[in-house]
């Protein structure tokens, strides 16, 4: 709902992205051939740290499943509305695209897509929101 909605969407996302920008290079220095944070923890803690590794895996997979469901429904509905293609086609297409880039590039792909998403959000907020508000006379 307007600027409060934009604020509560963008600020946590921006903070998350900034944390990733700071943390990921540090992890890559210590674990240059690493693929996941859980793998990093497992190697760092050694054989005695398997509980931490399994806990991180469970948390990561639970969040991934929820994120995929949310993004597929939201993205599938958006694409369906914009293109007129049936939701039963657009939602699985979203799953396949995300799965493909995740399998091919892992964490690097996630960081790159997060940067692209942030750029799109900033462009929308800086360009399209004022443009729309001025066109409707609300600015």
pLDDT tens, position by position, 34-72: 777 777 777 778 787 778 778 888 988 898 888 878 888
Q: What is the pLDDT of residue 90?
A: 92
- State how far the Cα of 35 lies from the Cα of 21, in Å rounded to an integer: 16
Which pTM value belongs to this model? 0.46
Among all chains, which residue has been given the structure tokens 């897509």? Answer: 113
In the predicted model, what is the mean pLDDT of the chain? 83
CB-CB contact of 25 with 32 (8 Å): no
CB-CB contact of 30 with 40 (8 Å): yes
Q: What is the pLDDT of residue 87?
A: 93
Q: What is the pLDDT of residue 8?
A: 78
Maximum separation of any 2 CA atoms in the chain, in Å? 64
**Angle of CA points 134, 115, 74, to nearest 5°:** 70
Average pLDDT of the residues in 132-138: 81
> CB neighbours (10 Å) of residue 7?
10
With a cut of 80, say whether residue 139 has pLDDT above it: no
| Positive or negative torsion for Cα 115, 116, 121, 124 | positive
Structure confidence at residue 1 as a pLDDT band (50, 70, 90): low
Q: What percent of the chain has pLDDT over 90?
A: 9
* Greater model confidence, 85 or 138: 85
Q: What is the pLDDT of residue 20?
A: 85
Q: What is the pLDDT of residue 138?
A: 67
CA distances from 16 to 4, 8, 21, 111 (A): 18, 13, 9, 11
CB-CB contact of 17 with 113 (8 Å): no
């Amino acid at each position: 709902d307007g600027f409060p909605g934009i604020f509560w969407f963008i600020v946590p996302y921006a903070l998350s992205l900034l944390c990733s920008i700071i943390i990921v290079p540090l992890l890559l220095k210590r674990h240059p051939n690493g693929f996941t944070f859980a793998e990093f923890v497992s190697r760092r803690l050694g054989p005695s740290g398997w509980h931490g590794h399994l806990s991180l895996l469970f948390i990561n997979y639970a969040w991934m499943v929820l994120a995929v469901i949310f993004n597929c429904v939201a993205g599938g509905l958006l694409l369906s509305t914009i293109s007129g293609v049936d939701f039963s086609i657009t939602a699985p297409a979203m799953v396949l695209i995300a799965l493909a880039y995740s399998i091919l590039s892992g964490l690097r792909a996630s960081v790159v897509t997060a940067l692209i998403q942030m750029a799109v959000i900033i462009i929308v907020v800086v360009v399209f929101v004022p443009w729309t508000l001025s066109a409707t006379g609300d600015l």
